[in-house]
Every structure is written in structure tokens, then in C-alpha cells.
Chain A
Amino acid sequence: MSVLLESLGAGRVVEAHKPVPRVVVDDDLWRSVASRIGASELTLLGLWGDIAAVHMAVLDESEPSVVVVTRQCPHGRFPSVGKVHPPAIRLERAIRDLFGLEPDGLPDPRPWLDHGRWDVESPLAPRPQRPSERAPTRFLTAEGDGLHQIPVGPVHAGIIEPGHFRFTANGEAVVRLEERLGYTHKGIEWLMQDAPIERAARLAARTSGDSTVATSLAFARAVEAALGIDVPPRAVWLRALMAELERLANHFGDIGAICNDAAFALMHAHCGVLRENVLRASDALLGHRLMMDRVVPGGVAVEPTLAGFAQLEDFLSATEKTFPRLVELYDNTASLQDRTVGTGIVAPALASQFGCGGYVGRASDRSFDARRTLAYPPYGELSFEVPVLDEGDVNARVWIRIREVEQSLSLVHQILERLPRHGALSVPCVATGKTCEGLAIVEGFRGDVLASVRLDRHAHVERCHLRDPSWFQWPVLEAAIESNIVADFPLCNKSFNCSYSGHDL
């Protein structure tokens, strides 16, 4: 038994929850866990609503171990975690919007996902309400001589997702940035309720298109944990191959795009070619450029082609020649580094407080990678490094991605060597005849994706929550841009590349 679980001894352990324990606690224990998170003893991995209950996933990085803590809310209220741990505030605002549960003491009670445009209020509550009249959104204020506001979005100037940014600037310097998200809220969690596993898996795959493999994998692993299913070894390896290809494609695309936001188009052009090569190899291998719907609960949906493996080998040998030259180009271009070095700094303390995953955390000294820390299969059998830097600026985030590209290229080699060429790709997801629950954490390119699933006795989804890494990165972007110039915002934003859709659900 983990030290973390022992400390929750007064709670009731729910047997049906796999593979990590879920503990139902009272107010005191809930508050004590919240204050331990606030004191940085534990890391908050997720906080989500349910019918008359809230759940919070916590990580003890020292062991490491994960536990889900549940507080029943028969009266529709629960003690706010955001009161002692600010990273939980937006999560609680979302719980309030979707379930109508009231976090007592929530410092910022403004709606978050609900913009007052839906026909219902608290759509996921057992009895949704008619929408009530509401005041227009108030933005946080900044006062002083010569300050002016710049509203940006939700429709942005580039080909990117919608969201609103409210800058308050003093001349060129940003004094305050406030984000307003929720524009892409599609009601995914509502659509998943009572859905058969296959339909829910399709929705999970469309939570954030750039992380379709990672999110599908998290969902699939949560379902498999709940049902007690072991997927065939060939599927395990093939899933890892897909996950690394997705990581490569996104890192290539973003390294180029960051440089492009500093007006260095050459890197963008070359990285764009590398990205396209990954997508074409993925298409040849599994019949879809983004590998959507290829990872399914029970295994992998599509038999990989021999031609695809050949194309992948060609891609690997070509990239191993071209990528180092691009790294050298980045490293030797002073005008580019002039923009990235020292820009958009995230202090390590902030990254640790918010539990920032992915390159945002690892560029700010937070050495967490679910592939290493939680070592889900097959990563325990693979050799790779988790690069960590502590400068926390745009440049550090670029370098983490460069190093991760190198690691992923090596991982793809290792996986191709170990991947069984024959054998089953999936097993059926058979209902167990009773309610069962599962949790999974998977490392996407952007950071750790968490999926929590409860299935009914027919193996239909009763409740599913997907927590994108962006939840713990978006708020930190507000801090990173402070006192930088407005013109550096695209650069900072791209170096984070948070998901709007994954966050808004």
C-alpha cells in the first residue's frame, strides 16, 4: 500500500476502480488533501464532476503513486480546492457550469465553459435547469496611467482554434493577460453518457485532433482497466509506435511554427516537410494521416501494411540526416535566438505548482513524463531519456522538443525492432455484468492526458472525463507573457501550443 493511500486510511476504498485506488472521503479528509496539494506535497492531476459527487486525482511524485479521491455532494456543494490551490479554480468553474455543483469558497465564481448561449443550465446535472438571465462577462481589471486594453479573438488572424485573449498593456509591455476559453465546447462528456464504448471512443478520438492517438489511448486504457482486459502484445507495441509518430509530427510542426512566429520561415518550411513525411508514413502504415480511430478499446483497429513499414524506414533514415542540420540552423541563428531566449519565462515554482505536463513543465525543471514516471507498457522495456531544462523560456521549450524528437526517433527504432510481426491486434470488450471504473494516464506530445471512465453492467459509458494537459498549461501562459511585449505573444503562445478543443471539451 502506498504512503499516499495510507494517509487516506479514514476513507472508504471503492473496489471497482482500477488500476489505482479510489477513496471516498469526508469533508475533513477532502480539505486535508486539498491543503496538501496547496502546500505542493501532492500534485493535482485532475478534478471533475459527477452525479452528486466530485473526484480529484492526485499524484505523489515521491513514490510515485496515484489515487482518486471522491467527495459525495448530496446537497450539491463541496469544499473548494481552488481556495487553497489556484490551479483548481478553472476546473471548479467548469464543474459548476456542467453539473451545477457549488464549490464552497471558490475565489472566482464567474462561469467558465457556459457563455450563456446554451438552452440549458448545468447540462450534466440529473435535472438540468432552464438558463437564467446573466450579466455580461467581467474581465479582471488592471489600473494605472496609460494602460490600454487589446481584445483578441475568438476568431484569430491565423489558422488556429478560437479563444479570447484580453490584454492590458502599458505601451508595448503586457501588464495582464486574461484568457477566456470555452468557445469550442461541444458537450463531449454529455454525448458520452450512455454511449456504447465504440461511439465514446470516436468522441475521445475527436477531443483534440492533434492528440487523437494519445487521447484514444488514454480512453482505451481506462476502459480496459475497468473491464480487466489485457490487450495483445502486438497492439501494445503498435500503440506505442503510433504515439511516438504523433509526438514527432507535432514536434516537427511546432518547432517550425515557433520559428515562423519569429519570422524565420526557413525552419518552418523544412519542419513542415518533416511533419508531412510523418503523416504520409502514418497514412501508408495505418490508412489515416493523423491515425484517428486506430487505437480502440481492446487493441488496434487496423492491420499495418508492409508498404507502410518500408515508408517509415525511409522516413527514419532521411530524417536522421536532415534533422541535425535544422537543429544546427536553429542553434546558429542569432536573430532567431534573440527572439526566443529570455522570452515568456515560466518560473519552475509555477510549473511545479500547476503540475504542468509536457515540454512546458520539463522546460521549467519539472521532471515528469508519464512514460517514465508511471511506466505504462511498453515504455518500461524501452530505453529513453526525459530531457529537462530549467530556464523556462521559449528557447528552453524549443530545445526540449528538439531533444524529444531525438528520443522519439530512437524509440521508433526500438519499437520497430520489438514489434511482433504476427498475432492478434485486439480482443473484444465484454461487459462484466456490473458497474466498473478505470483510470489511465498517458503521455501525449503536449503532456499527460488523463481519462476516467465508469461503465455500467452492459459496458456502456455512464460517465467519462478526459483531462487534457492544457488545463494546467493555459493559466501559466498568462503568467509567462507578463511584462513581455505584445508582439511576442504569438511566439509564447506557440511555444505552449495549448489545445482549445481538448480543454473546452
Chain B
Amino acid sequence: MRNILLQSLLRGPLTERHPATDATAAAELAEALGRSARNRLGRSLAIREVDAGSCNGCELEIHALGNAYYDLERFGLRFVASPRHADVLLVTGPVTRNMRDALWRTYQAVPAPKWVIAAGDCARDGGCFSGSYACVGGVAEVIPVDLHIAGCPPTPTALLQGLLALLESAH
């Protein structure tokens, strides 16, 4: 273990060194996001993720925000375990009827001021599941949405962009 730790220390952070344009864009975005998050929320923005019936593709990419390339937490943005600790609800999925109540109650549990991001094409209008007897079809049908992030699923870069856009538009 010591070797791995030592190597990681000597190597420096992956975020900085990755040459691909995507990573560079992510790093720029991430820097801007860090500034505005600090201005508005004093270094801290707590996000509660709710899967309202997604295929789990969106969850995989939201998870990726935590890896060494994107490292969301360095900006004070972090995922929290309870809606009562959250500033932002990040909702995915076409909102199945079986999840409608749970989503509504989770929203109610978030203290104001609060924002809602609907992530992924399903969360906008049900995506390819719209019209089903089992789906409500879009997060905005159940709770007020401040921002949609497109993509099936949205890439981690798109998700970072979305968080930035939210911060820019939040009062």
C-alpha cells in the first residue's frame, strides 16, 4: 500500500495531467464552478441524488463525477445522504408512477432555498419511456425544475456544466 500511496503522491493529480480536450474543458469548467459555488454558497453546495426510475445510466455518470478526473468534491460540491442536508435535488429518470410519491416527499424534505436539476433525457419528458402507463413523464410534472441537463446519459462534463449553469442563474 505504501508504494501505491507514494507513487500517487509523486505522480501528482490526474486531473491536471490528462491531455485530452475533454479533460481540459472539464478542468476549466470545474474552476469556474468552484468560484461561483464559493460566492453564493460559501464553499459548500450539498446535492441529493434521486433516481426516479432511470435505467441507471445517469447514475453511473453522476458517480463518475467523484472519480479522480472530475473530483467534484474539491469545489465544495458534495453528495449527501439525506434530503434534509441538501441544497440541490439532482433527479434522473422518467418518474415512474411507483416513484412519484417518494420523489415528492423527498422534495418536501429539502429545506429552502432549494433547486432541482433534472438530469438526462428521460427526466425532461420521459424520453423513450413517455406514454407508458407506468411513467409520469418528466420531473417537472411532479416538482418544479430549475434546470435540465440533456444527454442519454449526460456525460460528467455535461453534468458539471449543468451545475455551473444552475449557480449562475440561482438568484
Chain A residues near B (Cβ < 8 Å)? 115, 117-120, 123, 154-155, 157-162, 182-188, 190-191, 199, 202-203, 206-210, 212, 253, 266, 269-270, 272-273, 275-276, 279-280, 289-290, 292, 325-326, 329, 332-333, 499-501
Contact = CB atoms under 8 A, between A and B. Distances in A.
A138 to B, nearest CB: 17
Closest CB pairs A-B (n = 4): A209-B57, A187-B132, A272-B67, A157-B81
B106 interface: yes
Contacts of B132: 186-188, 190-191
B61 to A, nearest CB: 7
Contacts of B60: 209-210, 253, 290
A266 B1 contact: yes
A500 B67 CA distance: 23
B interface residue count range (under 10 / 10 to 19 / 20 to 34 / 35 or more) = 35 or more
Contact of B54 (A184, A199, A253, A325): A184
B66 A186 contact: no
A162 B153 contact: no
B1 A183 contact: no
A31 B150 CA distance: 50
Contacts, number: 150
A186 B100 CA distance: 12
Contacts of A253: 60, 63
Contacts of A290: 57, 60, 153
A332 B1 contact: yes
B93 interface: yes
A280 B59 CA distance: 17
A203 B94 CA distance: 13
B99 interface: yes
Given A159-B63, A272-B67, A501-B56, A184 B99 contact: yes
B135 A329 contact: no
Given A118-B133, A158-B81, A325-B3, A186 B59 contact: no
Given A160-B51, A270-B4, A182 B98 contact: yes
B161 interface: no
Given A162-B52, A290-B60, 16 more contacts: A120-B133, A159-B51, A160-B59, A161-B56, A185-B134, A186-B96, A203-B128, A207-B55, A209-B55, A253-B60, A253-B63, A266-B4, A289-B61, A289-B155, A501-B53, A501-B55
